Homo-oligomer: A and B are copies of this chain.
């Protein structure tokens, strides 16, 4: 067995045995001027400042309908022992289906759709590939939320992503109201890396994809970041998209309303930021949560 020596410096230490100071982010959020795209200069400035940006009606009605149908099919067809299918802790209902950019031709086309791909390329200023994709389902009445976290913290610690040069798109497949468990974002929090306390256990992803306990920021750190700018909520009809930086703190409340919520979630990573070995975990996570094929996404035009 060969042990891969990691020579990359760790500028974002986390999963520590004790409390540590907040880390000012050294890396940029936006790499503008390299690859043109649909975002305006103001859009990019807003993304840089707040760490997120909402695009109303990114897709048309027909495309949304086709994605809704595909999402329902993927949930229905999921087998009980498929590790890519995550179920609700209490009810057993399908909560997420992972790696859909590979298993679904519809999602494979979505991530190559210029309306999507060009935006990812434009923000990251490089070719991109999909680090992770999934469809999320939050049922009505019993939907469980997700506590505050930075995705980058996990991808750095457990997948070896060197820098927060990744951007996520959450595409709504149902209406996001302010009250049915939609994503909450702490604007501006992406400029700060919050080191988390606690060593990563082996096979942590099996528990953390349902409910995270390690890799969770301390309360006073969340409070410190939320005080200046409060909290923003992602609301909008199906077809709207939230683009957000990999390091922005986000979470969601539960959903007791009768209105379920589902979305397609795609993480684009820069090909100049491909993962090395995990920075704070005993082993890599499986490919279906952390892609190891870094081939840049092509689109229909090339």
Name A's B-contacting residues (CB within 8 A): 140-141, 145, 147-148, 177-179, 181, 184, 219, 222-223, 226-227, 230-231, 233, 251-259
Question: Which residues of chain B are within 8 angstroms of A227 by Cβ–Cβ distance?
Answer: 258
Q: Is the CB of B253 within 8 A of A219?
A: no
Q: Is the CB of B141 within 8 A of A231?
A: no
Which of B140, B177, B226, B258 sits near A258, CB closer than 8 Å?
B226
Q: Is the CB of B256 within 8 A of A226?
A: no
- 24 A-B residue pairs with Cβ-Cβ distance under 8 Å, sorted by A, are A140-B223, A147-B256, A148-B256, A177-B230, A178-B178, A178-B179, A178-B233, A179-B231, A179-B233, A179-B253, A181-B253, A184-B256, A219-B258, A222-B258, A223-B258, A226-B257, A226-B259, A227-B258, A251-B256, A252-B256, A253-B253, A253-B254, A253-B255, A254-B254
Q: Which of A178, A223, A253 has the most CB of B within 10 A?
A: A253
Q: Is the CB of B184 within 8 A of A231?
A: no
Question: Which residues of chain B are within 8 angstroms of A140 by Cβ–Cβ distance?
Answer: 219, 223
Q: Which of A147, A177, A231 has the most CB of B within 10 A?
A: A231
Question: Which residues of chain B are within 8 angstroms of A148 by Cβ–Cβ distance?
Answer: 256
- Report A19 CB to chain B, min CB distance, Å: 17
Q: Is the CB of B177 within 8 A of A231?
A: yes
- Report A156 CB to chain B, min CB distance, Å: 23
**CA A16 – CA B132 in complex, angstroms?**
49
**CA A254 – CA B223 in complex, angstroms?**
17
Question: Which residues of chain B are within 8 angstroms of A259 by Cβ–Cβ distance?
Answer: 226, 231
Nearest neighbor of A143 in chain B, beta-carbon distance: B253
**CA A230 – CA B177 in complex, angstroms?**
10
- Report A87 CB to chain B, min CB distance, Å: 20
Given contacts A140-B219, A177-B231, 10 further A-B contacts (CB under 8 A): A140-B223, A141-B222, A145-B254, A177-B230, A179-B184, A179-B231, A181-B253, A223-B258, A231-B259, A252-B256
Nearest neighbor of A253 in chain B, beta-carbon distance: B253
Question: Which residues of chain B are within 8 angstroms of A251 by Cβ–Cβ distance?
Answer: 256
**CA A178 – CA B176 in complex, angstroms?**
13
Nearest neighbor of A257 in chain B, beta-carbon distance: B231
- Report A221 CB to chain B, min CB distance, Å: 10
Question: Which residues of chain B are within 8 angstroms of A219 by Cβ–Cβ distance?
Answer: 140-141, 258
- Report A231 CB to chain B, min CB distance, Å: 6
